[in-house]
Structure 1
Amino acid sequence: MGHHKSKLSPEELTAIVNSTEFTEAEIRQWYKSFLKDCPSGILSKKEFKRYCSGFFSSGDPTDYAERAFRSFDTNQNGTIDFREFMCALSVTARGTFDQKLKWAFRMYDRDNDGHVTKSEMEEMIKAIYKLIGDRRIQEVLPNRLTAQQRADQIFSKMDKDGDENITLEEFKIAVSQDPSLVLLFQDEKETPSNEEPKIKEESGAM
């Protein structure tokens, strides 16, 4: 892979500032770090999964990273460029609760059809269980439910009209009543302004 340009153009910088909650200085700092880990300026799915593995060392992030990558890759071309990366990071790290809920919903909605089916719910919960690891699962969810039992419980809470599909509105209502349904998406930690950001630390913490 060839090397990407070392600086963002003024137009690119302005576009990212207008699309995120980051300042110009922060974006430049992130760009420097992004190029250090991705000299091509493009983050592949394989690289993304490797970064997630480095962050979630106690569990297996493979399935979760697959879904997260799809959410980052907004133009669905199989790679994540810097602008896509920053837009996604802005939501997960500094977005409003509503923005985070929409992000979480997209993670559950695997085929992006605007509805979450029971099978999609089961797949996502199993991915979260694998991501966290057995030990922390018992700390976060002390009732010792299996991934299948937890998925069934969540789906029944959300599917108020019983049509076997969860809409974004149903999702929002359920989460407002039980925030633990998307607890991973709320546990964000921003990089202190005096530290250089590390892609592998931030991109995994969704």
Structure 2
Amino acid sequence: MGKAASKLSKDDISALKKSTYFDRRELQTWYKGFLRDCPSGQLSKEEFTKIYKQFFPFGEPNDFSNYVFNNFDTDHSGYIDFKEFIVAISTTSRGSLEEKLVWAFKMYDLNEDGKISFDEMLAIVKAIYKMSDPMVQLDDDESTPEKRVQKIFTLMDKDKDGEITLEEFKEGSKLDPSILHALKLYDGLV
């Protein structure tokens, strides 16, 4: 979208309406807020992490916020521009279950090879556990990140090849109530 302008152009609005679930008015409101918080028109990883720390004051969100940031930063520029931001917000808050599952899969697929390895999932789950409130009691089969990932792989890795494909992820996620709950967390918030 180039350098930050005070208003979205008609072309920008038209393109964003096609790639999000927001209307013109909502896009303009989001854009004003984005520019207020990011006058340069770009959100840095450091700024993004600061925001995450406000939402998770009892845990350590740095690692997880980096993974989420990288999923927002689709052009790998090291910054999130408004288009990247609003498309991600649209998907996570108003997208279909299918769109949310694809978005989540991309976050877990750290090396972007179209499959999630045990180690990739373990890295994300470790980050989630570090971010979570230490007072939260977990079931024994999920008491460590390793146990949680093993449980997920048992559920999702149908062909037992040590990797989860997008199709396996989508099917397995629909069977795991905690994943479905997490994907619906932002429904209707914006």
The corresponding residue for 2:89 is 89
For 1:121 and 1:48, the matched residues in 2 are separated by 22
Q: Deviations over 1:165-189 (max 9, x none)?
A: 1101111111111131354332115
TM-score (norm. length: structure 1): 0.85
Mapping for residues 193-204 of structure 1, pairs under 5 Å = none
The residue aligned with 1:74 is 74
Q: Given that residues 154 and 181 in structure 1 are in contact (C-alpha distance below 8 angstroms), is that contact kept between their aligned partners in structure 2?
A: no
Match of 1:170 in 2: 168
- Partner of 2:54 in structure 1? 54
C-alpha distance in structure 2 between counterparts of 1:104 and 1:35, whole Å: 27
Paired residue secondary structure (2:36): helix
Match of 2:27 in 1: 27
Per-residue Cα deviation, 1:85-144 (whole angstroms, up to 9, x for no partner) = 0000000000000111111111111111100001011111111112222223x2xx4446
The 1:100–1:109 alpha-carbon spacing in structure 2 relative to 1, beyond 3 Å, is same
1:24 CA displacement: 0.8
Cα root mean square deviation, aligned: 1.7
Provide the C-alpha distance between the structure 1 equivalents of 2:13 and 2:172, rounded to a whole number of angstroms.
Answer: 38
* Distance of 2:67 and 2:12 partners within structure 1: 27
Q: Is the Cα–Cα contact under 8 Å of residues 121 and 155 in structure 1 kept in the other structure?
A: no
* Residues 104 and 182, structure 1, Cα contact 8 Å, conserved in 2: no
Q: For 2:59 and 2:183, locate their aligned partners in 1 and report how far apart those are by CA, in whole Å.
A: 17
Match for 1:172: what amino acid? K
Give the SS at the match of 1:100: helix
My pick for the range that moved more, 41-50 or 142-151, is: 142-151
Deviation at 1:42, TM superposition (A): 0.6
Where 2:135 maps in the other structure, the secondary structure is helix
**Shift, 1:49, TM fit:** 1.0
Q: Secondary structure at the match of 1:134?
A: coil
Q: What is the aligned partner in structure 2 of residue 161 from structure 1? A: 159
Amino acid corresponding to residue 162 of structure 2 in structure 1: E
Aligned residue pairs, count: 187
With the length of structure 2 as denominator, give the TM-score of the two structures. 0.91
Q: Deviations over 1:141-180 (max 9, x none)?
A: 4446211111111112211111111101111111111131
SS at match of 1:25: helix
> Compared with structure 1, are the counterparts of its residues 190 and 36 closer, same or farther at alpha carbon in structure 2 (3 Å cutoff)?
farther
**Does the Cα contact within 8 Å between 2:97 and 2:183 map onto a contact in 1?**
no
- How far the C-alpha of 1:190 sits from its partner, in A, is 4.2
Q: Distance in 2 between matches of 1:182 and 1:133?
A: 20
CA deviation after TM superposition for structure 1 residue 56, in Å: 1.9
Q: Distance in 1 between matches of 2:170 and 2:188?
A: 25
Distance 1:58 1:142 in 2: 20
Q: Percent identity?
A: 44
Report the counterpart of residue 187 of structure 1 in structure 2: 185
Q: Secondary structure at the match of 1:16?
A: helix
